[in-house]
Amino acid sequence: MISIHQTRIKTNNCFKILAIESSCDDTACAIIRSDGMVLGEKVHSQKEHVHFGGVVPEIAARAHMHHLPFLVNSLLDEAKVSWCQIDAIAATCGPGLIGGVIVGSSFAKGLALSKKIPFIGINHIEAHALTVRLPDISNKKIEFPYLLFLTSGGHCQCIYVDDVGKYQHLGGTIDDAAGEAFDKVAKMLGLPWPGGPALEALAKEGNENAFIMPHPLYGRDGCDFSFSGLKTAVANLLEPYKDLSCLPRSLAADIAASFQKTITDTIINRLENAIQMAPKTKILATAGGVAANQYLKFHLMRLASQYNMEFIAPPIRYCTDNAVMIGWTAIEILKKTITNNFIPNDIDLIPRPRWPLSEMKSRFEH
């Protein structure tokens, strides 16, 4: 017997998705309609990690377990959406901190089973890749293909996005991600966690040409990244100041500004190669937490202009991890699968700490 939920999905009749994201330290849920309308969202940014200067995976997982039930119930109440109006549930199944991924996806699967509706397991990287197609991000629909620069605390990749489920990895970091480098340098400077925004704020006070730092892989073929050498360069500059209380703020600001400029210059150089590797696209998109950095965003916009490309970036709230991108990705998947008269149900999908984008195409091979 076909349920009313299946009917609404198959006819594309404004079906609704409840989405859950728990891959790192933000516990998030959202309800999004098939036309892209966000009916409500909730995000709890965990404060439990502040004293540790970084995310502690076990603490994050326990916090997700504690906050998720309340967040989902309050979301439904505030959005004035009942369970009978939810047609599918989507949740991050990887990549990410495996404890948090297990908590979020298991909670979502339990709800899906109890409500007798489909569960859609979402790849966190794919969700970032498709975020720029959310209807309220651009005045026009973003068409495939486009070049995506994904930059966050855990990821730094250049991805050619050809279609839903069709992605080509052009290059990525061989050591630290850009966001991780920002956070670690911020910690060296004695800045509060999360370090990226604090370092960006401090850099505004400094001289970006005060220090010459190494540009890892700059000028080489391909579009891989390396940022570990930059951290070492900052550590060497700070060697005389073992007691950070003796570090002059003006010097710290100059270091922050020089570091931010160097990492941005390096990114732009690597992206120039990525653009040459993806000649068919006229769109440069960015996503991920570091994409919220306004200094980097300005230079990405300038790069796109130099190559006569359109530049697309989500608003800051969708750059960082969020449940709206999880729900939108489920909608993109469902819209593609229902053309083959198929509604996926990933109830048996195993959560994974790593999940290559190359595997996404298998979802449509039915």
Residue 314: the pLDDT is 92
Residues 91-121 pLDDT 10s: 999 999 999 999 999 999 999 999 999 999 9
Q: Is 152 annotated as a binding residue?
A: yes
Q: Which residues 6+ apart lie within 8 Å of 143 measured at CB?
A: none
pTM for the full predicted model: 0.94
Rounded Cα gap, residues 95 and 350, in angstroms: 11
Q: Which residues 6+ apart lie within 8 Å of 64 measured at CB?
A: 22, 27, 100, 103, 104
Q: Is 66 annotated as a binding residue?
A: no
Percent residues over pLDDT 70 in the chain: 99
Rounded Cα gap, residues 348 and 295, in angstroms: 43
Going along the chain from its start, the domains and CATH numbers come out as 4-124+322-364 (3.30.420.40), 138-313 (3.30.420.40)
Q: Is 321 annotated as a binding residue?
A: yes
Q: Is 94 annotated as a binding residue?
A: no
Residues 298-331 pLDDT 10s: 999 999 999 999 999 999 999 989 999 999 999 9
Q: Is 153 annotated as a binding residue?
A: yes
